[in-house]
Amino acid sequence: MGTHLPSTEFDGTAVDDQREADAEAVMGDPSAQMVQLLGPDGKLGADPVFSGYADRLTPEDLRGLYADMAAIRRFDIEATALQRQGQLALWVPLTGQEAAQIGSGRASQPQDYIFPTYREHGVALTRNVDLAELLRQFRGVSNGGWNPKETNFHLYTLVLAAQTLHAVGYAMGIQRDQKLAAGKEPDAAVIAYFGDGASSEGDVHESMVFASSYNAPVVFFCQNNHWAISVPTNVQTRVPLSNRAKGYGFPGIRVDGNDVIAVHAVTEWALEHARQGKGPVLIEAFTYRVGAHTTADDPTKYRHSDEEDAWRAKDPLSRLEKYLRAEGMADDAFFAKVKADGDELAAYVRRTAHDLENPDIRSAFANVYAGAHPLVAEELAWFEEYTAGFAGDDEAPAQHDAAAKAGH
């Protein structure tokens, strides 16, 4: 009896062709323009696939999207000010990316699990994370600040693209759990956020290979904000990032990341696609980082102000405000309340930041290993002896000031 050796050149081509056809049915022409429903002029357009999803949004939903975007922008401004005043060691601004984050976050369901990078403050808001808790990590008093099990919103990941691997592994896990549960719980999907710079990391490639191979229920959400710190997107890639999905055999969609309605619609479709067992999706939210990469960055060193001005004209908040006002869905009273709520949030965040207590440094030594370790104990003893040498230094300045005043 002969042995059949599979041919990598011919076997399975029907399956491969079908996958490519399915992907192209959604993606369409790779050179086609991105999905946009709400333009910078505040007028709502139409899309043959995604308008149906946009129609599900009620006037209350739309007002909520605006309120969320305004709240997270006010929070971002306050957090930046806190860093400049020495209350935070670092801050990662998101201004300009509010629609990409709020639209996608609000499209998720409670059972979905989200893996952020370090800039997804808006997504955190949609998952009911206390925004003041985000400041703990940036003040250096916590490794996280919130419990992911309570919100299905994972801790921030500072290592570029590492969370994409975690996300696919988690998606493969819930995929197997859901098969065992046999419909007893609502199906869930995973969203993995990353930036255009992180898309050049090997972790993203490996994640997409595994996600495609195992048909994992994961949505890759790339916020293309045009700048990987000082490296522009056109150096990162020669084609739209969404086109990369075709190489892995799943749909890739480029959406106007400053159009919160389109982002919500595209993400809702993608999550439904993943939950239904149809596999992963790549979304490229075409947006712009208006401010600095972090508060340690100076964008004037690598880009022109006229570029920033051009993108400010595409502001996600102003275009939704135009639409809400034109359609009679919101008035001056609504926008005044949104502003007041934002100021109240900022005041709360400021109070919380000032009240944060520094942790006992001994906890850092205690958390190295699960149990006691002689080397760690030795290092702790040295540290305590070293710090004891500074005892009484706090009194010296006060005594010096008193002596100086007495001299006058």
Catalytic residue ranges = 289, 293, 302
Nearest to 211 by CA among 254, 255, 252, 164: 164
How far is residue 63 from each of residues 75, 100, 261, measured CA to CA in Å? 18, 16, 11
What whole-number distance in Å separates Cα of residue 22 and Cα of residue 28? 10
Strand order from edge to edge, sheet including 190-195? 113-115, 190-195, 218-224, 281-286, 252-256
What whole-number distance in Å separates Cα of residue 131 and Cα of residue 151? 13
Q: Amino acid identity of 162?
A: A
On the CB side of 325, how many CA atoms lie within 13 Å of its CA? 12
What whole-number distance in Å separates Cα of residue 358 and Cα of residue 360? 7
Q: Quote the Cα angle for 62-63-67, to 5°.
A: 120
Q: Quote the Cα angle for 112-349-120, to 5°.
A: 35
127, 129, 132, 133 alpha-carbon torsion, rounded to 10° = -140
Give the number of other CB atoms < 10 A from CB of residue 289. Answer: 27
What whole-number distance in Å separates Cα of residue 333 and Cα of residue 339? 10
Give me the helices (H) in 252-330, please. Answer: 260-275, 305-312, 316-326
Q: Are the C-beta atoms of 70 and 339 separated by less than 8 Å?
A: yes
Q: Amino acid identity of 85?
A: Q
